[in-house]
Structure 1
Amino acid sequence: MRRYDDLARHVARKLNVGDTDVHVVVQGSMRTQTTTAMWGNTKFDLDIVVKLKSARFAGLRTSEEFFQEFGRALKGIPDAGEPEPKNRCWRLRYPGEPFYFDVTPAIPLSRGITGTDLRVRDPKTIWSPSNPEEFAEWFCKIAEGRFPFQREQMAQFAEARTQVDPVPCGRVRIDDILRRTVQLIKLHRDNYYRGLPEQRQEGKPISVILVTLAASTYRDLLAKEANQFSSAIEVALEVVERLPRYIDRSGGRVKVMNPEMAAENFADRWNEDSGLRDREFKTWHQELVADLDALFAEEHSKKDEVRVRRIFGEHGVDAWKNGLAAGGLLGGLLKTVPAEPRSNPQTPVPTGSRNQLA
């Protein structure tokens, strides 16, 4: 937590506001507990929102000066390096560390301006609504849902419940099929795009879309077809198969809407890139389905190790071997923590465990 505290105090001092007026909130995969291991020297991307509650920001009507002032306030944070502007955030690379921060400044109490509690800078529309906490709560509530075949597991692990904290610190539970499936999907995506041309990587499906599609699928399977499944692998494969069904293509535009904010389309850029992201999603998804179907349908053998390495890389092979030893393949594949976990710069959060799903 030291890095977060250092950043908050530094920003408060530079902006001449009280320490209690700066609130650092973790968002993205850390908040939903769907992090995966990073490849080689790749740094872990930690997304954070900095809520600025001071009255001096409450009445702002334009965002650019606010955004630039915040960027200047980030200068001089120990070990962080020079802030780099992005679309809505500033990147702090922390040279020499295995992580970097994407820091989004946000102004709370903004419902009268954007219709949501938070508003953030948008170079096109001046302000953009934001609700990372509500989105995470939506996902986490769905992830808590359990299928009938899991009742015995739920009783066994009743005291090991996952907590939803600003910086989650508990292991992903043995019966947490949705989170483990999201990790599996993201791990496959990352390995699939590793080494591909830059143009194709530009079209790589972003995590928030994959999380939204997977959670929506899982929610409906649980609500409408819960008794049709007898194992975690069956659920995971069905979630993967149905992902495209939750992409809205009505009206000639592609839409994956934020379930907690009707005005935000996570797939907006799909409609502005001559179909690049749409094509990439379809191509990658076909590969994902084919790889998982073949992997889980085969007998475990030395031959499988080659397939696992091709699909998931060395982290996947290590996890797969652990899974075989414990009698469970899916849980093993989703044990994606490297030897030195990097999910949290100060308190690493393991993204899997030796517990097996099936």
Structure 2
Amino acid sequence: MTFRTLSDTQKRHLAGLLEMACQELELTKTQFEDAQSKYDAVGRWLDDADHLILADSRIFSQGSIRLGTTVKPLERDEYDVDLVCHLLSGHASMGAAYLKKIIGDRLKANGHYQSILEEKQRCWRLNYAGQFHMDITPSVSNPRCANGGLLVPNKDLNQSMKPSNPEGYTLWFEERAEMTPYVMAPGSMGIRADVEPLPEQVPIKGLLKRIVQICKRHRDLMFKDDDTGKAPISVIITTLAAHSYEAVIRSVRRLADIDMVYEVIAGMKLHIQSQEAATGIFYYIPNPTTDGENFAEKWNTKRERAAAFYQWHEAVLRDVEELGRIAGLDSLIEHLKEKIIGPEAGRVLTKVTDRMSAARNAGILLASPSMGVGIAHGDPVRPNNFYGS
């Protein structure tokens, strides 16, 4: 076990630091409400169209903002807000270009949206400068999907459609996120005033979602200077983490949260399917909620992407494991800043230092609940309303 030399208190403290760090990666309440307001406005504008196909539509979110795994972009990049416009009366025979044009024409009819509109290969993007960009992807029902999936434009072929199922994927991911790990019984909950206290009680999002956030931010740091597009995409990280999390949970091992973080990340590569083909290894990471969507399809034409994933996976394992070898809060925070979380980790140091100072000044015993990343204590997280309902 990677962290076997650490005491229960040390493990709880490490998990607590990661929890606090992940909270620093979240959208602020103001950012969330601003995105929600703009999302609602776009939805109303599309829904009020006279076009028969567009008038019979529904819009909802997909991706990290719906899954609760959003991380702040590094430096000055903008948040992604990914939306799907489900054209209920549309069908694939109309062609992806036509379905996309219906949405684009409606957006162009609004002077404000026209001024910030950008056409992408398979969607329309509204650029809210300095805040976020909102991608709106057209979709139609997929009659061949038993799970109620959709067809969306294929990125490389303008007229073709490919399977997807964003709502089904969300349900699949949430089912795994709600699985409760067997957590090792903690040691004494009392902490002397001269011992670094656990971070104070704050809302807990859940272990799987925090692991995904950790992995995504580590990837962003590792590939921040790489403009080749080979960084592992978020849906691959999210899918493999969810598969691995379920496997670790079902192994019925009693693990502390920090051990769970490592074990889940370590197991991610075990859920990549591959086989030898004439052109080399064929990689397959299927969408678990619909047939015909391979999240790793680009790995089979751009081999450097597969290599980049394995390089990243080795690095994130090494950097998480290193947390168990570092002594001292300052050194831990520095490692988080450089390798795992980024500059936001500095704010964690400030918060912990302030709490330590207050505890020492009071000279009292602190009795705090375990602040493990995935333990189900604390206030409920603000609900995500990007559901189109």
Coarse TM-score class (shorter-chain normalised) = 0.7 to 0.9
Q: Tell me the distance in 2 between the aligned counterparts of 1:69 and 1:174.
A: 41
Partner of 1:247: 272
Q: Does 1:284 align with 2:319?
A: no
Corresponding residue number in structure 2 for 1:28? 63
Q: Please state if 1:147 is matched with 2:147.
A: no
Shift of 1:79: 4.2
Give, in angstroms, the shift of residue 113 of structure 1: 8.8
| SS of structure 2 residue aligned to 1:266 | coil
- 1:190 positional shift: 1.1
SS in 1 for 2:291: strand
What does residue range 9-24 of structure 1 map to in structure 2 within 5 Å?
A: 9-14=44-49, 16-17=51-52, 21-24=56-59
Distance (whole Å) between structure 2 residues aligned to residue 129 and residue 253 of structure 1: 20
Secondary structure at the residue paired with 1:261?
Answer: coil
- CA separation of 1:244/1:18 partners in 2, compared to 1, >3 Å: closer, same or farther? closer
2:231 aligned to 179, 185, 204, which one? 204
Equivalent residue in structure 2 for 1:73, among 106, 110, 120 = 106
Cα deviation code 1:84-125 (max 9, x no counterpart): 232322111123x511101111123x3159985422222537
Cα deviation 1:198-235 (Å, max 9, x = unaligned)? 12xx10000000000000000011112x2331x11000
Structure 1 Cα separation of the partners of residues 75 and 217 of structure 2: 14
Q: Which amino acid aligns with 1:66?
A: L
SS at match of 2:151: strand
* Equivalent runs, 1:80-159 vs 2, <5 Å: 80=113, 81-95=115-129, 97-108=130-141, 110-112=142-144, 116-122=148-154, 123-124=156-157, 126-149=160-183
User: Is contact 1:323-1:329 (8 Å) kept?
Assistant: no
Bigger mean CA offset, 85-94 vs 318-327: 318-327
1:220 is the counterpart of 2:247: yes
Query: Structure 1 residue 191 and structure 2 residue 221: aligned?
Result: yes
Q: TM-score, normalised by structure 1?
A: 0.76
2:289 is the counterpart of 1:257: no
Post-superposition shift, 1:15?
A: 5.2
Task: Give the root-mean-square deviation of aligned CA atoms.
Answer: 3.2
Match of 1:160 in 2: none
What secondary structure is seen at the aligned counterpart in 2 of 1:313?
coil
Asked if structure 1 preserves the Cα contact closer than 8 Å seen for 2:54 and 2:87, the reply is no
The structure showing larger relative contact order (alpha-carbon pairs under 8 Å, at least 6 residues apart) is: 2
- Map Cα deviations across residues 20-69 of structure 1 (whole Å, 9 max, x no partner): 6231111101111111122232110000101122x4x3474422222223
Q: In structure 2, what is the equivalent of residue 43 of structure 1?
A: 78
5+ residue gaps, structure 2, are 1-35, 187-201, 357-367, 375-382
CA–CA distance in structure 1, aligned partners of residues 83 and 250 of structure 2? 33
TM-superposition CA deviations, 1:234-269 (whole Å, max 9, x none):
000111112111111124301111111131100000
Given residue 38 of structure 1, which amino acid in structure 2 is its aligned partner? P
Query: Counterpart in 1 of 2:295?
Result: 266
Q: TM-score, normalised by structure 2?
A: 0.70
What is the alpha-carbon distance in structure 1 between the residues aligned to residue 138 and residue 185 of structure 2? Answer: 43
1:8, 1:19 within 8 Å by CA — same for their partners in 2? no
Q: Deviations over 1:282-309 (max 9, x none)?
A: 1111111111111233222323333222
The count of corresponding residues between Structure 1 and Structure 2 is 308
- Change in CA separation of 1:305 and 1:70 when aligned onto 2, cut-off 3 Å: same
Q: What secondary structure does 2:327 align onto?
A: coil
Identical-residue share of aligned pairs (%): 26
Give the partner amino acid of 2:331: K
Equivalent-residue separation in structure 1 for 2:145 and 2:238 (angstroms): 28
Q: CA deviation at 1:175?
A: 7.0
Aligned-partner SS, 1:148: coil
- Give 3-state SS (helix, strand or coil) of 1:39's partner: coil
93 and 317 in structure 1: CA distance in 2 versus 1, 3 angstrom threshold: same
Change (3 A) 1:130 1:72: same
Residue by residue over 1:150-171, the C-alpha shift from the partner in whole angstroms, topping out at 9 and shown as x without a partner, is: 899xxxxxxxxxxxxxxxxxxx
Distance across 1 between alignment mates of 2:53 and 2:118 = 25
Aligned partner of 2:346 among 309, 317, 324: 317
Map 1:337-348 → 2, pairs under 5 A: none
Q: Distance in 2 between matches of 1:113 and 1:292?
A: 39
Q: Which residue identity is paired with 1:6?
A: A
Structure label with greater radius of gyration: 2
For the residue of structure 1 that corresponds to 2:163, the secondary structure is strand
Partner of 1:354 in structure 2? none
